[in-house]
Amino acid sequence: MSATDTPGRPTQEELDAMTPEELARLAGTLDDVEVVHNAPRWPVKGTRAEKRAERSVATWFILSALAALGFIVAFIAWPHEYVAPGEPGYTLFSYYTPVVGFLFGFSVLALGIGVIAYVRKFFPEEVSVQQRHDGRSDEVDRKTILAQLASAGKSTDIARRKLITRSAGAAAGIFGIGLGIAALGPLVRNPWKGGDDAALWHTPWRPENGETVYLRRDTGILEEISRVRPEDMEPGSMETVFPFRESDRGNEEALLHALRASDAPVMLIRLRPDTPTVKRQGQEDFHYGDFYAFSKVCSHLGCPTSLYQAQDNRILCPCHQSQFLATEFARPVFGPATRALPQLPITVDSEGYFVARSDFIEAVGPAFWERRP
């Protein structure tokens, strides 16, 4: 539409005289579209074949409607609450997800197939060709549009209104900075806040106010405090233990934190009697008899290294196949881990319960910049 006097462009009178069909054809012509072939799908109306085609399209829509109805009914009425295998109603329950999913999916699919089937069965067969326009817009368009923009800018006087441009710029800019802070702010954390007290350096095993930290097990019930005693464990066994303080009793949040904190889990391992061991220098008294407590957090990338092989006393990390030797202060013997698992100093109190003598003496988990190896 480069110029108004393109050949073939009709005048007002000609337009008024045109039928709707002619107008539609004109729309194509103006866009340089040429219809090469156009034949109606059903030249003779009302034949049996046409009726059959109509019914087949409608069948898809009806199926879709029925499936949608079925989905609504199943979603509301199908029993969806857990039933253990073998109990009455298990079979019905086990079909909940497939039934709901199938009906929903089939409803959408049948609707789509119906639309496509309609297009393919009833739209006329048509082959059209549209001319392709290459290159840039012509010279007149390019010159005028630039001049128009420049003149619009000039007429609004924006170039002279320094106060308005600057204040508007300040508003938009500061708002943009605010958006940036909101987006990036949560990513900025300071894990070293508090210096030596920073969260990276200590774990929930750290005794606070001189309170004893016991080793508890997780029985699957939060309030059921089961403190570990040496006689609880058979030789050649491993148990995951968590810190427990008497002041936490009844405090659901504190109890849950002790069980869920990422640096809290400790593997308490009881070796078989007379297993030869090597102690780490400076940590010779961290164990209690055959009991050794190692952090469960891998020193490579922090996965839970709880695959304890009771026969060869190796501790495996499932993520990158590091192996640690439980008989030699959990030093790495295979895989990418380079540091031994930190050992928790433990002993038994006068009542016979395991207690932590102190926090870990090094940071648990993967390395970080400030960590000394």
Residue 295: which residues within 8 A CB-CB, separation 6 or more?
203, 263, 265, 266, 267, 341, 342, 343, 344, 360, 364, 365
Least Å distance, CB 224 to other proteins, is: 10
Which tokens sit at 315? Answer: 């501790």
Nearest to 278 by CA among 321, 327, 231: 327
In the bound state with other proteins, the residue whose beta carbon lies nearer, of 217 and 279, is 217
Least Å distance, CB 245 to other proteins, is: 21
In the bound state with other proteins, the residue whose beta carbon lies nearer, of 29 and 38, is 38
Least Å distance, CB 305 to other proteins, is: 9
Least Å distance, CB 214 to other proteins, is: 16
CA 269, CA 181: separation in Å to the nearest integer? 47
Which residues make up the interface to other proteins (CB under 8 A)? Answer: 84-86, 93-94, 96-98, 101, 116, 120, 125, 217-221, 229, 231-240, 304, 306-312, 314, 316, 318, 321, 323, 334
H helix intervals, 185-306: 252-260
Least Å distance, CB 172 to other proteins, is: 44
DSSP string, 90-155: HHHHHTHHHHHHHHHHHHHHHHHHHHHHHHHHHSPEEEEEEPPPPSSPPHHHHHHHHHHHHHHHHH
User: Phi-psi bin for 32: left (phi > 0), alpha (psi -120 to 50), beta?
Assistant: left
In the bound state with other proteins, the residue whose beta carbon lies nearer, of 169 and 318, is 318
Neighbouring C-beta atoms of residue 245, cutoff 10 Å: 19
In the bound state with other proteins, the residue whose beta carbon lies nearer, of 217 and 331, is 217
The three-class DSSP label of residue 234 is coil
Least Å distance, CB 112 to other proteins, is: 9
Least Å distance, CB 237 to other proteins, is: 4
Instruction: Report strand pairing: 213-217 vs 354-356.
Output: antiparallel
Q: Is 314 exposed, middle or buried (0-12, 13-18, 19+ CB in 10 A)?
A: middle
Which tokens sit at 327? Answer: 């008989």
In the bound state with other proteins, the residue whose beta carbon lies nearer, of 114 and 201, is 114
Least Å distance, CB 52 to other proteins, is: 15
In the bound state with other proteins, the residue whose beta carbon lies nearer, of 219 and 262, is 219
Residue 326: which residues within 8 A CB-CB, separation 6 or more?
269, 271, 292, 294, 308, 313, 314, 315
In the bound state with other proteins, the residue whose beta carbon lies nearer, of 24 and 307, is 307
In the bound state with other proteins, the residue whose beta carbon lies nearer, of 11 and 311, is 311
